[in-house]
Each structure stands twice: as structure tokens, then as C-alpha cells.
Structure 1
């Protein structure tokens, strides 16, 4: 028996070692990639002469494939062996990063970003699953999970600084830097990870494809509508076709033998409201960063590094609120934390929508960035706990995964809607779509108005999240039980 345990859990004494370096390093690399892309958008648009819609696709193409295929990516590890699938996902992400770094035009960059998302969708959930099979239950696994989770916070902050610094040299380096890191992770993974047994499992490939294509159609319609015209046949076909594909996805999921989206998990109305709030908050977070980064670079003339540093207070505000929310969530109804956080966020964004080219960072934006970060932090901590409140231990994993997909996949839809608002506002004021470097002062004013109008769109999403959160009726006791069940599931 001891030999079986040793094989099943290669790490039994302390978490820190090559295995957690490999798994945590992958998580750090992918979080960094998501952060730095927003900072580099202005330079990418200028260098490749992207349209506004093309600029948005640099962000959304990655998130669509990542979110749409994440659940399927996790199942691939179960079906073919987690070590093998993890290395394959990292290899694909690394190769796609190389293609991003050498992209010569809009299409090649967007296609490479979509391929990056596929690699991330395979590697990220498999890495988290590998934590459970690599580290022995108890303190060792708890340490590993803590290190793995910390990579998200560390990556969010360091990505702002490192990404800004690399973009100062060339935006291509934010992608090319992944190549040596990815190769190192793959090399270490061969020796530090142990393969898991494969299961005979029918994969819901049609469901994953339909969900991804359906969301892509919706995003295409909103992204291109502002420039092509809302009556354009391509826009109408994309919106209608996207909705039809999502309807087909729901039909397939009801009949699938092993569905990505088990409908039995949605019988609780409070949980449905929770997923809706998670999606809306995800739209706010996903849409906010690109337009603030563009505003401070194109309008306030910040360098990429200075723009990255300007975001750091947001991370500190979010971290402070997350600490407060984690303590209060087991004492007061979580919906009031979510409502308070989203209202603070909405009011902050509403004020942000009044900024213009005469605004200054320290006087008009510094406190605002901290306040919005604090509001987001209050909202994002209770919601994942509500998603798993009142369920058995075996349902925690699927529900947590669905909550993550809801946040990631609705982000591009939110950005498409907010981006359409921004482009429409800019064009209506006599502005043009394209690089800011080629614009006259009047056109830059129109561009500035479009960027801040996008913040109004983010404020609307935050306000909707506040309304939806009112329908979440989970009690502090249920949230406390969810925390305990989540911890028990990690230690099992």
C-alpha cells in the first residue's frame, strides 16, 4: 500500500520543488500573457495599422478559445493522461506565442492569439488537476494550491511592470518571452511530473465547438457592427448565427452522454443568479483594462511602462477588498458584499466616463483606480463561494469550473459590446478608426470621448451585476460550509 501511495503522490514532504515550479510557472506565464496584451494594444495597433475592431480581436480571440474550450481541455487530461496533455498544451501555447511574436499583420496575429487560447485551455485546467495527483493530501497539497493560486496575483502585478518594460523595447517581446519559458517548463515537466492513468471517456467535442463558435459569432457581430454598419449582412448573419449556435449548444448538452454543462447543476435559482453576476463582473474586468490602457497611452501620452505602473494601485485596492470580503462573507449575506462592490465599481466608472484629454493621472485617476479596484475585490470574492454553496463535495469541481468559464467567456462578449459603443461614439464625433499616431487633435478628442464612453458601458455592466446580485439568497452559513467543503475537496 505505501508503494501505491508513493506512486500516486510523488510529493509527500514539502510542496516547493520542481513540480510546483512547473505547474506554478505555467500559471504565471498565462496570467502574465493576459495582462501584458492590454498594455501593448496601443503599440500593436500603431505598428500593424489595426482597425479598432482588429485591435479588440487581439484580446477577444484569445479569451474565446480559452473560455470556450476550457472545460473540454480539463476532460482531455482525464481521457489521455494529464502529464501528456499538460505538456502538449504548454507546447501549443509556446508555439502560438512564437507565431504572435513574428506576426506580420492583423489576421496572423489574431489567429495566433486564438491558438494561444487553445493551448491555455488545455494546459491550465490540466495543471490544476495535476496538483491533486502530484501532492499528497493535507499540508503539502494545501501549500501547493496556495502557491499555484498566488501565481495569479503575482502575475497580475508583475505583468503590469514587466509587460510595460518589454513593450518599451518592442510589443513582440511580450509574446517571444514565452518561448524560452515554455521550453523550460516542458523540459522540467518530463522529469518532475508523473503520468496519470487514462479513462475511457466520451468527450463532448460538439458542445465545446458549438459554444465557442456561438460566442465568436456574437462577438463578431458586435465588434464589426460599429464599423460595417448594424444593417450589414455580415453583422446580421453573425449575430443570428451566433444565437442559433448557442441554442444548438443547449440542445446538444441536454442529450450528451458526458455534457460540459450539466443542467442538473442549475436547478437552484440562487446559483443561476450567481453565474449571471459572475459573467457580468467578468465583462467589467475584461473590458476595463484595455480601454484604460489605451486612454492613458493614446490620450495622456503615457509610455507602456508608465501605463503598467498606473494599474498597480488597482491590484492593491482589489487585494485589500478581497481580504475584507473573505472575512465578512461568513458573517453577512454575500449578496450585500456583491451589491456594495458592484455599486462602488459602477459609480467609479461613471465618474471615469467624464475624463478627457485635460485630465491628469494623480489628480483625476489615482484615487479612482484604487476605488474601482476595491469595488471589484468586494464582488469577486463571495461569488465563487456562492457558486458552490449548498452542494456535495463531488459537485464542487464542476461548478467551480463552470463559474470560471462564465467569467472568461462572457468577457469577450462584454468587450465587443463596450468596444462597439466606443467606436460608434468616436465615429459620430468625426473621429476615425485606426492608430492614434495618425490623428489630428480634433480626431484625438473624438477618440478620447470614445474611450471614456466605453467606461460608461462598463458601469452599466456593473450596475446590472448589482441588480442580479439582489437575487442571490445564500446565507453566511451556506458560504461558510462552501469554504469548508472546498477545503475538504482539496485535501481529499
Structure 2
């Protein structure tokens, strides 16, 4: 059972039942308190992409530098999500959530003040560290604050905010670069922080997992393993997928993650209980997340460039054209969240991924060097509608498949898989694009984009099949299955 820390004596007291807590603030205020910091973090995943050319001029950055302006954030963010969730369970979720907001904002200021590539890369890595605390705890705190009967609707609205951040990233980046300077894509985080922190303290209660201890060996092993794997993914295209350094990084990651699994089987309070992976709903929901982000992020990365070339447009114009796709989850995700219990999360995810696959295939079939936007907008609406059907049911199923005290760990694991899927999709689709085409002309760009997006279609449709394996009704098993000590006794191996 989660606890709330008292403000006077530093002890703990039982958290009141969710329905009893709902008299203080309307539901939308609670969602805003959890979602506003998450919006800031998600926005910075894509906001840099449309500002890279301006950064290259001002900082005299090389192509490798430009890649690390993006990858430094992705690397630290993806690899520390599990650690961020664990720190929240141990030291207080609200406390670590606010600390993540502060770190993210201070590093945003450092990004805005950077006058060299090295400074900006270091500040972006620090941003990812703060984001790794904000993202999983945002979802966990929301699940703690909202009563069960309203949880899926709240998750739908939370997902809509997340989708809006994805949608506005390229647009905000393009608008800021055209109207101001690239530094302002980081300075806009400061007023968000000034609003978010007092709102969080006013609206959200403190919670933690009683008597929890940090699994330091597990944290070190999983972080080192994920750093090796994610580094290999984001550098695979530039170094060559068959190069010795990439193969060595993948091998090191595999060894470290294998050691992590062996350690978790014996840990008294594991960072990631392996019992999660005996739950079909949890496993297949994570596969759905990975496949969706693989297809979505890889495809949007190419389409944002395609709209700047065929015909030639400004970054802002290209970002605006992608809104037909990326704004749809704002409208669809809340409805999908409300329907999750009635229709089943797996069914909604399968339908969403099928629509994404149809939309991507449609785009691929009509794309030419001079395709009118009117011929593509329908496909983008279909793909965006599908994306909206996936966000909220995935979050709902992942949280429902574990006990309340494990929501932070489950959220961290799901966000980690999601980010790795997005990084892998961008890297692989970019590599296929480079093999078959180039960005020298619109014709050559389309030649490379077509086979790349077909791979995205295949992965998304494979995810739809995984979604069909998710049980219609998902609930955590009480007692032993969520007990870390019982888990250790069941799975430990005698040396």
C-alpha cells in the first residue's frame, strides 16, 4: 500500500482512499499538475529537430555534433527512467518529481546559455537526467491521485497532453527559430517550471513505497547495459552497423543486461520485479509501445524532412503540415481511455496500430517529389487517429497489470521500452533511407523514404498482432506476485 509522508514528524501515515481525496481539486487540476511537467519533457524530445540548422551556424557544429544535440538527451533519458522511478518509490514520488523538474529547468537554462557544442551536449544530457525522473513519476502520481472509476479517463487526458507535446515539438521549434533565436526553444521551459512546481505542491500528495530500499547493483547494471545498447542504436548509422565498435557496444549491453536479469532474480527488493514478465498483459503492452514508437518516430523523422523538400518549405511550414497526424491523439486519446474497460485495452491498441499501418502505407503509396498535400492529409489523419487509440489503453493496461506499489516500476519499464523503440525506429529507418536514397533532391529523398516506411508499416502491424494477445480484462494479482520477497524466494537460484 502506498503511503503519504506527514509534514511534521517525518513519519508515514496511510494514504486516504482515492475517492476520499477527490474533494480538494477538480479532476482537470490534478491532471494539469501531473501533465504540465511531462508536456515540457516530451516537447524537448522533438523541439530541437527543426532548430538544428540554426544551431550548426551559430555554434559552428559538425554533423556529429548535431546528432549529439539530439542523442545526448535521448541517451540519458531512456537509460535512467527505471532509476528515476525507483528513486521516487524510495524517497517520495512528489519530491523526486519536483527535483526532476528543477534539474530539467536548470539544464534548459544551461542549454540556452551554451556557446559551444560541447556545452550544449553536456546540458542536453543533464536535461535527459531530469526528464527521466519527471516522465514515469508523472504517470504514477496521476494513478495515485485519481479514483479507480476515473483513472482510465484521466490516463486518456494525460495521453492527449503527451500527444500534443509530440505534435507541437516541430512546430514550436520552427516558430521559435523563425521568429526569435534557437536559444528560446530552451528558455520557454523556465516559465513552465515556475508554474508547475507550486501547482504540484498544492495539488499532489506525497507517496512512497514503505520500507523500500534502493537496488544499487541493479541500477548500475541496467543503466550501463542500456547506455551501451542505446549508444549503439543512435550511432549505428554513422559508424556502420557492422563496425567493430557498434558490435562491441551491443555485445557489452547484452552481457550487462543479462547480468542485470540474474541479479534481479536474487535481489531482495529488485529494481524491476521479474514477476512482471510472467504477466501477458504487461509483456504484450510493452511490445505494443515499442512497435508504435518505432513506426511513429521513425516515420515522422522522415516526413518532417520530406515536407521541407517536396516542394521546398520552411521548417515551420513543414511542422504545421504534420499536425494533421500529430494533433489527432488530443481528441482520440481521452475517448480511448474512457472506453478501455468496456472494449478492452488490447482491442483498442490492435485497432490503433492497424490504422497506423494503413496510414503509413497510404503515405508511402502516394508520395512523390511533387505530391499535393491534399493527397496525403487523409492518410495522416488515419495514422493519427490510430496513434490516439494506443496511448491511453497502453498506460491503463500497464498500470492495471501490477499492484499499486509497483506502478512506478512498471511505468519506468514501459517508458524505457518506448524510448528505445523510438530510437531504434529512427536509427533503422534512417539507415534504410541512406542505403536507397539521399537528401540531395526530392526524387532521391522519396526513393529512400519508400522502403524505410515499409519497414515501419511491418513493425506496426506486428505490434497489432501482439495487442490481440492482451486479455480483455486486466487486473493485478494480489499478494505474493507483487511481493518482492516472495518473488526472490520463487526465482532465486542456489549458488
TM-score for both structures, normalised by structure 1: 0.77
5+ residue gaps, structure 1, are 483-492
Q: 1:194 to 1:328 in 2, by over 3 A?
A: closer
Contact between 1:101 and 1:176, CA under 8 Å: does it hold in 2? yes
Query: Residue by residue, what CA displacement relative to the aligned partner does 1:178-202 show, whole Å, maximum 9, x if unpaired?
Result: 1343345446667777766896532
Give secondary structure in 1 for the equivalent of 2:370: coil
Could you report, residue by residue, the CA deviation over 1:341-385 in whole angstroms, capped at 9, with x for unpaired residues? 323322332343456662345233211211211222334444344
Q: Indicate how the Cα distance of structure 1 residues 232 and 276 shifts in structure 2: closer, same or farther if over 3 A, else same.
A: same
Q: How many residue pairs align between the two structures?
A: 461
- The Cα shift of 1:454 comes to 3.4
| Counterpart among 354, 369, 384 of residue 343 in structure 1 | 354
1:274 aligns with 2:285: yes
Cα RMSD (Å): 4.1
Q: Check the 8 A contact 2:325/2:383 in 1, yes or no.
A: yes
After superposition, the Cα gap between the structure-2 partners of 1:79 and 1:381, relative to the gap in structure 1 and judged at 3 Å, is closer
Corresponding residue to 1:152 among 162, 166, 185: 162
CA distance 1:55–1:369, change in 2 (3 Å) = farther
CA contact (8 A) 1:56 1:419 kept: no
Shift in alpha-carbon separation, 1:285–1:204, aligned structure 2, 3 A = farther
| Distance in 1 (alpha carbons) for counterparts of 2:377 and 2:120 | 33
**CA 1:136–1:371 in 2, change beyond 3 Å: closer, same or farther?**
closer
1:425-436 to 2 correspondences below 5 Å: 425-426=436-437, 431=438
Q: Which SS does the other structure have where 1:260 is aligned?
A: coil
Which residue in the other structure is 1:173 paired with?
Answer: 184
Are 2:310 and 2:369, in contact at CA under 8 Å, matched by a contact in 1? no
Q: Deviations over 1:39-69 (max 9, x none)?
A: 4345545665666665454444323322332
Unpaired runs of 5+ in structure 2?
A: 1-5, 477-495
Per-residue CA distance 1:48-91 (angstroms, 9 max, x = gap): 56666654544443233223322321232343344543332222
Distance 1:17 1:339 in 2: 29
Write out aligned runs for 1:17-416 (5 A).
23-41=34-52, 43-44=54-55, 55-128=66-139, 151-159=161-169, 161-168=171-178, 169-183=180-194, 185-186=196-197, 201-319=212-330, 321-322=332-333, 325-326=336-337, 329-330=340-341, 335-353=346-364, 358-388=369-399, 398-416=409-427
Indicate the residue corresponding to 1:466 in structure 2. 464
- Contact kept, 8 Å, 1:100 with 1:108, in 2: the verdict is yes
CA distance in 2, matches of 1:122, 1:209: 16
- Which position in structure 1 is the counterpart of 2:487? none
Shift of 1:276: 1.6
Say if 2:307 and 2:313, in contact at 8 Å, map to a contact too: yes
**TM-score (structure 2 length as normaliser):** 0.77
CA distance in 1, matches of 2:98, 2:389: 36
- Name the CA distance, whole Å, in 2 between partners of 1:51 and 1:208: 34
